[in-house]
Amino acid sequence: MIHHPLLPRFGCLLAALAIAFSACLAAPSTAIADAHSPEEMGLQIALQAQERGGGFGDFTARQTMILRNRQGQESQRDVRMKVLEVDGDGDKTMFVFDQPRDVKGTAFLVHAHPHDSDDQWLYLPALKRVKRISSSNRSGSFMGSEFAYEDMTNQDVEKFTYKYLRDETCGDLTCSVTERAPVGKGSGYSRQVVWHDRDELRIWKVEYYDRKNAHLKTLTISDYQLYLDRYWFAGRMDMVNHLTGKSTVLNWSDYEFRTGLDDSDFTQTSLRRAR
Amino acid sequence: MSARAFLRSAVWAAACSCIALTAREAQAESDFAYEEVSGRIGIETRVFPESALYPGQASHSSGVVLHPKLYLEDADGKSVTVAPFFRFDSTDPRRTKADIREAFVLLFGEAGNNEWELRVGIDQVFWGVAESRHLVDIINQVDLIENPNEEIKLGQPMAHLTWSGDWGVLELFGLSFHRPRTFPGAGGRLRAGFIIDDENVTYESGADERHLDLAVRYTHSFGLVDVGLSAFDGTNREPTICLPTTLGGAFTQHYEQIRQFGLDSQITVDAWLLKLEAIRRTGFQNLFCQSEEDYSAFVVGGEYAFYSVWDSPADLSLLAEWNYDERGEQATNVFQNDIFLGARYALNDVQSTDFTLGLLEDIDFGTRTLSLEFNRRLTDNWALNVEATAFLKIGEADFLQRDLKNDSFVGANLGYNY
């Protein structure tokens, strides 16, 4: 009987990425202003944000998660990840766990597909077993954190419907506030409200509403840095669960871009080499 | 531990230290870009509530496990992995042992659109998809004395070449230095009424344990369907255990030359995993060496997961598998016609708490075995595992299991991972 603390509980941290991505080419306001209905305007913002995030090629990074419960007790998760953009398909992502130590060397591979369910494999180092797992679990918690699978998976534009709500100040910036509702089954949310800044289309805040429309969680993104003179990547993400009082801080570090990764670094054979 | 077994362990331990030292030295010379030491130290205990069937068998045992792992990698990604394993057991001297689980050099690269990988040394390999039994999996010997669940394996010396591309993955194995299966000694529980000799192991091949065994495996994914085809030609991993020719004689392990063809497949759709493993094996004698009997066997079943059950973050997975072996009552294992039903409840909390329950029901013999498992992380380094196996009912005609009827047990294991 297979047994592993991580087994039933994986998602892809890509989302975190998708959230983090925002490129900075031209000012977006013109196209957005040309759209008429709130739905069109919301979609335009999402499309532009996605377009600006593309083209980085590949990158590697480290993630450190600090999980905090209501009493303030902390637990840490360390993950190394690598990501490859794929022409005409979703990204390929590999995660390798360093902490907690009982799951050290466990690795997780995702081939994302924008119009189809993702392909996911898990490598269990104690058994040296590669197991293909179901990708249909979207609403569950990722490694006991306040991030859910669906917060972590590739948030392609096609996976939501949109509605522009308003513009408002967010810190020193002006943000466009849009609402998006998940398409397809399995989501734990009825809707999300997203704050994009108008200059660079970076996401600064997301509010998550559960199926009963209660305000479940709030994500705050900060410490953006510019890479390759074009891509804004976040350094820190704070997810707070308003119903349980628990929170998770996700810190990103050691970003390296265009490291020469290719398809052969994202196969089941390479998954077995993870350590 | 007998003199010979001790010698064997000592040789393994020495070989392993030697590899570790060589690796260290190599590192000093060619400076590896990355070095890492990790591993696990465990304290374990097992309690058998029912009185033993045979004199000398203990009612409980405790032990210590050391499983360190050294990993060295150079700037090109070439690596050396060394992972010895040591166990001290308070009651069964055979269970006090040393093994090298891993000690291999790993090279890989690209050739055109294809990828290659070569592993040379002692390694472990897993094939298959099923949970109740690993039917096609044949590269490594089972370390049965560690755990009767057949999940734990001995290291196997091999050369393992992988070649992959858009067309799939092809793996070739050359294997030698066959490892005999480990069996409990007189003081151990979870054994048959007779003791299986672990010293006078015999082989069908004139080359004994040094016979060169060959294996090949091809795997590919067709959308939702994963398929694996395998063939093995060489020394059986499962021993042929014959009745002694003299009264009071020893039960010895004999390893025959066999050929096995295997098929494994999984279909992954929504929350369903549908699984099949099947083999055809030739050249192996049936139960207690009545005759050589070629046979087929399969395990078929599936797994379904309910996510976020009862308005909580927890998941519940249900499993069902049917094991079948064409030899029926002449089968050399307990899975000749058995249904496995399982449930896994994972809380998905910070401690990754989970409970697993499994029931194995033998349709022919009426034997019923219940297994329970509990896992919880205590801190970022400490983790607790508790497992229990209960032989609820053992069929009168079930030769392979009737000696286990009083061997239900509860085991606990506290591990420090570093």
Flag whether pLDDT at B25 surpasses 60.
Answer: no
Interface of B with A in 201-220 (CB under 8 A): 219
Give the whole-angstrom CA distance, residue A207 versus residue A195: 9
Interface of B with A in 381-410 (CB under 8 A): 381, 383
Secondary structure of residue B328 in the 3-state scheme? helix
Q: How far is A192 from chain B (nearest CA, A)?
A: 20
Q: CB of A8 within 8 A of CB of B315?
A: yes
Segment-wise mean pLDDT, segments of 10 residues, chain A, 275 residues: 36 39 40 71 91 89 94 92 90 92 92 86 93 85 86 80 94 94 86 94 94 95 92 94 95 94 92 89
Tell me, what's the pLDDT at A10? Answer: 32
**H or E element that contains A17:** helix A14-20
Tell me, what's the pLDDT at B72? Answer: 95
Tell me, what's the pLDDT at B242? Answer: 82
Q: Is A169 part of a structural domain of the chain?
A: yes
Q: CB of B315 within 8 A of CB of B348?
A: yes
Interface of B with A in 72-131 (CB under 8 A): 79, 81, 106, 108, 110, 115, 117, 124-126, 129, 131
Question: Residue A233's domain is classified under what CATH number?
Answer: 2.50.20.10
Mean pLDDT within B232-238? 96
Q: CB of B305 within 8 A of CB of A149?
A: no
Average pLDDT taken over every residue of chain B: 90
Secondary structure E strands in B166-314: 168-175, 202-203, 213-222, 225-235, 240-241, 253-255, 257-269, 272-282, 295-306
What is the ipTM, given to two decimal places? 0.90
CB-CB neighbors (< 8 A) of A262 in chain B: 110
**pTM of the predicted model over 0.90:** no
pLDDT digits 0-9 by tens, A29-41: 444 555 579 999 9
Give the whole-angstrom CA distance, residue B48 versus residue A183: 54
- The number of folded domains in chain A is 1
User: B31-51: string of b/e by CB count within 10 Å (b at 16+)?
Assistant: ebeeeeebbbebebebebeee
Say how far residue B128 (Cα) sits from the centre of its chain: 12
pLDDT digits 0-9 by tens, A154-200: 677 888 999 999 999 998 999 999 999 998 777 889 999 999 999 99
Flag whether pLDDT at B24 surpasses 80.
Answer: no
- Bridge-based pairing of strands B253-255 and B202-203 is parallel
Tell me, what's the pLDDT at B29? Answer: 54
CB contact under 8 A, B346 and A129: no
A231 phi/psi in degrees, rounded to 5: -105, 125
- Residue B412 is encoded by which pair of tokens? 């606990």
Q: Is A6 part of a structural domain of the chain?
A: no
Tell me, what's the pLDDT at B311? Answer: 80
pLDDT digits 0-9 by tens, B98-129: 999 999 999 999 988 899 999 999 999 999 99
Q: How many CB pairs under 8 A join A and B?
A: 127
B63 phi/psi in degrees, rounded to 5: -165, 170
Give the whole-angstrom CA distance, residue A113 versus residue A120: 11
Domains (ranges, CATH) in chain B? 3-417 (2.40.160.10)
pLDDT digits 0-9 by tens, B160-211: 999 999 999 999 999 999 999 999 998 899 998 888 888 889 999 999 999 9
Nearest by CB: A8 against B164, B270, B315 = B315
Q: Measured on CA atoms in the order A49, A51, A56, A57, is the torsion positive or negative?
A: positive
Q: Would you call A86 an interface residue with chain B, using a CB distance cutoff of 8 Å?
A: no
For residue B109, the one-letter residue type is G
Rg (CA), chain B: 22
Tell me, what's the pLDDT at A18? Answer: 41
- Full domain range(s) for residue A182: 14-272
Give the whole-angstrom CA distance, residue A147 versus residue B414: 29
